[in-house]
Amino acid sequence: MKGKVVLVWAVFMLVLGGGCADFRTVGRQELTGEQVALSAEQAALFREVAQASPMIESMDGYADVWIKTPKRKHRVFCNIRINRGREARLIVSAGLLGWPVADMFFSTDSLYVHDMLNNRLFLGSSSELNLEKIIGVSSGFRLLSESLLGLVTFTEPLRAITSVKQGSGALIFTLATPEGSKEVVIDPSSRTLSALFLRNRQGKTTTEIHFKHYQTITVDGRNAPVPKDIEMVLYNSSGADGAGEHQLVIAYDERVFNKSSGSLKFELPQKARVVNLDDAAILPWM
């Protein structure tokens, strides 16, 4: 009997510890370069990258996800489905056995989370604070969904570009925004987005996103580069998951694009206890 107890305990610890094996964190990138005048060729490159492969409308993929905050450090596995600009759904599994632990659906204004471990249904607004509660990073719907997809669009006109730097195989476009500024890092050889930095009005970086290991896919007879790895870090976050740095790393194993244009149907779980997510603390679903 004692041996069985030890075996069960060992398996339990392996399941809990599996999420921390081979843990990945965000790799930083130094922004260096010499300031140059904006050329017509550079302007055309910026417009191309800013459109972010508009022919891609949806994605269905499977990814490894690492989350690191001042209070959490987890590795989970996600089926990530996105209807671009409208909605996203994440089915999360954890541990070596890959048990499903959460089913999340969020759109531009609503958020549903089924905590499968405790059969609770959290309902709330798709706000930055609520998104931090469930995935560890406080990001708005548009930026988060586009980052998960690996295709971030830029709607700022060319007149918003305040400077261009060139160096280390990259072009760095600085754009003025109502919140401060953003720095768009483009690889001119592959014509892809390498990184995005968001800064507040005081010039401090609030968000840093990296897009790595691009793969060329064919959609509707057109080639489109899409990153396999996305790394996101938010600085000086002060939400429910602790003050400090929050990281999210996504590595896709497989993806299908434009598989379906139908709605990502979320069926309400039976007999689940309903909880107002706006009033809830951090979720213990991982």
The per-residue pLDDT for range 154-212, each reduced to its tens digit, is 999 999 999 999 988 899 999 999 989 999 999 999 999 999 999 999 999 888 999 99
Dihedral pair phi/psi, residue 134, rounded to 5°: -100, -25
pLDDT score of 13: 33
pLDDT score of 15: 38
pLDDT score of 97: 60
Q: Select from 241, 206, 239 the least CA-distant residue to 129.
A: 239
pLDDT score of 235: 83
What lies within 8 Å, CB to CB, of 118 at 6+ separation is 273, 284
In sequence order, the β-bridge partners of residue 83 are: 58, 87
Q: Alpha-carbon distance 224 to 53, whole Å?
A: 6
Q: Alpha-carbon distance 49 to 13, whole Å?
A: 45
Residue ranges in the chain modelled with pLDDT below 70? 1-21, 23, 26-29, 95-98, 236-243, 261, 282-286
pLDDT score of 238: 55
pLDDT score of 257: 94
What lies within 8 Å, CB to CB, of 67 at 6+ separation is 73, 74, 75, 76, 135, 136, 137, 247, 248, 286
